[in-house]
Chain A
Amino acid sequence: MTATEIVTPPAPDPGAAPPRRRAALRRLGRSPLGIAGFTVLAVAVLAAVLAPVLAPYSPSQVHFDAPFQIPGTVGFALGTDDLGRDVLSRILYGLRASLLVGLLAIALALAIGVPLGLAAGYFRTLDAVISRFTDLMLAFPFLLLAVGLAAIRGPSLGNAALALGIAHIPGMIRVVRSETLRLKNLDFVAASLVDGASDVRVLGRHVLPNALSAVIVQATVAIPQAIIGESVLSFLGLGIQPPDPSLGTMLADAQQYAARAPWTAVVPGLAIMLVALAFNLFGDALRDALDPRSTR
């Protein structure tokens, strides 16, 4: 597995970093798809944060007199489910949980993956150990990790985020490692070392800032995967537990009534897709902006 290295073109002079980033932002601002993705994301995040204000009902409030209301019914813009719970309110709260799990998972992957990746790329002695560790983690597909965690610690939002976070650590380590391997051989790192800078200082001041673009791109790719992963886990009953709303558990419930109330299956799926699509559009635009030579 050490066989595949990501080949990245050499970075320009690091002294030019700030203007380079400003130029990247300008390029990002000129990408219509990137702006569209960013807008949808901003709306989704706002809706999730403001869910308690925006939701017409509590997500678990049942209306036994109004089950299976079709979307557009007065009072229930997106209809109701088998228990008469408001689909719109549940989507807003579900979105909240999905984004939270996605961000927590990636925060964990960053917190562990970036330092390990830097260490593996910079110190040859640590590389073998960390690479074996990466291989080991890759041997457990994320769903098996989640299965194991659910078996040991019980299913919950936190354990879903933990499993998804662990699953994204190897990818993060690899990206940071290959960036570090490339950067540490550049002249300005050698110059800094000759100048008497410590390894930690070189890593923190020179390697990490220049590897940041790759890290950001990797994170934007990983977040939508984690969000979809959360919905998978909750759908299987390994993530967020009912009655707490989650887009995945909504789909699991809908499976039984889909023929009678298709919107209960269609709407939560569309919500997941829209958020993932927005992240992917934004991520693609970001990658193009940070590396104008990339062909995606």
Chain B
Amino acid sequence: MRSYLLHRLWQSAVTLVLATIVVFLGVRALPGDPAAAFAGEERDPASLAAIRERLGLNDTIVVQYGKFVLGALRGDLGTSTRTGIPVSQMIGTGLPVTIELSVLAMLVAIVLGVTTGVVAAVRRGRPAEWFANGLALLGLSVPNFWLGLIAILYLAVGLGLFPASGFVPLGEDPLANLHHLVLPALVLGTGIAAIVMRQTRSAMLESLGADYIRTARAKGASPRAVIGRHALRNSLVVVVTVVGLQLGILISGAVVTERIFGLPGFGKMTIDAVFQRDYPVIQGVVLVTAAAYILINFLVDIAYSLIDPRIRVAGAQT
């Protein structure tokens, strides 16, 4: 176990270092003078020179990179050229909203996906399976931001069941907070639910065909116990990985969902920054997301190897 842990830790560290290089070089690849980009509207040569000095653009590229990494490690990601607020502070305000949305969406995806996946596998060849398969196919094919638009149009504006946009912090009023997040979480979660459903179904079908299921049935275990205690538990290993691998989709999806529902999260901040050419914010957001993604993937792999020891062996060999 320890060698696998070290191996994965090393891999993640290398990836993280490469990611910082990509982000660093990405900002240097911006058209024109980075000082001008960082200065925003400012065009006065004297202040541009000052910015260049402050940004350390006169140093060699290696020194610049070193400073960038050291700054990031200290939590210094620069300052927004639009608002003058430190980027780390902006991320600190936006991130909790996005995390709450993502967690709720994942919950929706797991509950919906695992339930329909189990039903489809257990009721193989019956109408219930066709129905569940059809739902999953729809979920994969519907652009979820469009689903959001339609939900706002008919459920929020039309029937007035939910607020169409806006946000109330969790600490202020938990019920109102949840009320604002129900639609976004459903919209974001259904697309991922389709992927979870398909994986659950095929994992369940494989489990249900295994010898130990026949043994359990022969012993006289109730169908409920066979499905719940034996087949589903073994299928969950696959589900855990699939859920872990959907993080990229979740992050991308959260950006769009926040945009549609006007949630003041990480995603909205990112898109706003692109249109305002707020490069320090873009750089900070991309770096933090990439780091979070690498970290979570590392944790998922570790969790997976704890559940299924065979992975450790295979992982250490490659």
- Residues facing A in B260-318 (CB within 8 A) are 260, 270-271, 274-275, 277, 279, 282, 285-286, 289-290, 293-294, 297, 301, 304-305, 311, 314-315, 318
A-B contact count (CB 8 A): 159
A259's partner among B22, B29, B157 (CB-CB below 8 A) is: B157
- Whether a CB of chain A sits under 8 angstroms from the CB of B143 is yes
Given the known A-B contacts A3-B315, A236-B271, A269-B150, are A139 and B15 also in contact in the complex, defined by CB atoms under 8 Å?
A: yes
Contact indicator B142/A273 (Cβ below 8 Å): yes
Residues of B within 8 A of A69 (CB): none
- Whether a CB of chain A sits under 8 angstroms from the CB of B64 is no
Interface string of B210-245 (1 = CB under 8 A from A): 000000000000000000000000000000010001
- Whether a CB of chain B sits under 8 angstroms from the CB of A254 is yes
Contact indicator B274/A140 (Cβ below 8 Å): no
Considering the chains assembled together, what is the distance between the CA atoms of A24 and B25 in angstroms?
A: 47
Contact indicator A228/B293 (Cβ below 8 Å): no
Contact indicator A135/B289 (Cβ below 8 Å): no
- Residues facing B in A219-272 (CB within 8 A) are 224, 228, 231-232, 235-238, 251, 254-255, 258-259, 262, 265-266, 268-269, 272
Residues of A within 8 A of B131 (CB): none
- Residues facing A in B137-161 (CB within 8 A) are 137-138, 140-143, 145-146, 149-150, 152-153, 157
Contact indicator A135/B11 (Cβ below 8 Å): yes
Chain A residue with the shortest CB-CB distance to B282: A151
Q: Chain A, interface size: which category?
A: 35 or more
- Whether a CB of chain A sits under 8 angstroms from the CB of B46 is no
Contact indicator B15/A236 (Cβ below 8 Å): no
- Whether a CB of chain B sits under 8 angstroms from the CB of A148 is yes
Considering the chains assembled together, what is the distance between the CA atoms of A231 and B141 in angstroms?
A: 12
Given the known A-B contacts A132-B18, A147-B286, are A258 and B149 also in contact in the complex, defined by CB atoms under 8 Å?
A: yes
Q: Closest CB-CB distance, A272 to chain B, in whole Å?
A: 5
Considering the chains assembled together, what is the distance between the CA atoms of A125 and B315 in angstroms?
A: 16
Given the known A-B contacts A144-B251, A265-B150, are A152 and B311 also in contact in the complex, defined by CB atoms under 8 Å?
A: no
Contact indicator B248/A141 (Cβ below 8 Å): yes
- Whether a CB of chain A sits under 8 angstroms from the CB of B26 is yes
- Whether a CB of chain B sits under 8 angstroms from the CB of A138 is yes
Interface string of A130-172 (1 = CB under 8 A from B): 0110011011111110011011110000000000000000000
Considering the chains assembled together, what is the distance between the CA atoms of A272 and B314 in angstroms?
A: 40
Given the known A-B contacts A132-B15, A238-B274, are A273 and B141 also in contact in the complex, defined by CB atoms under 8 Å?
A: yes
- Residues facing B in A1-26 (CB within 8 A) are 1-5
- Whether a CB of chain A sits under 8 angstroms from the CB of B256 is yes
Q: Closest CB-CB distance, A33 to chain B, in whole Å?
A: 9
Contact indicator B141/A151 (Cβ below 8 Å): no
- Whether a CB of chain B sits under 8 angstroms from the CB of A99 is no
Q: Closest CB-CB distance, A98 to chain B, in whole Å?
A: 11
- Residues facing B in A94-130 (CB within 8 A) are 127
Contact indicator B202/A1 (Cβ below 8 Å): no
Considering the chains assembled together, what is the distance between the CA atoms of A281 and B305 in angstroms?
A: 34
Query: What are some 16 contacts across the A-B interface (CB < 8 A)?
Result: A3-B241, A5-B314, A144-B252, A147-B271, A147-B286, A148-B26, A151-B274, A255-B149, A258-B152, A259-B153, A265-B150, A265-B153, A273-B143, A277-B138, A295-B202, A296-B202
Instruction: Give the interface of B toward A (CB within 8 A).
Output: 11, 14-16, 18-19, 22, 26, 29-31, 137-138, 140-143, 145-146, 149-150, 152-153, 157, 198, 201-202, 205-206, 241, 245, 247-249, 251-252, 255-256, 259-260, 270-271, 274-275, 277, 279, 282, 285-286, 289-290, 293-294, 297, 301, 304-305, 311, 314-315, 318
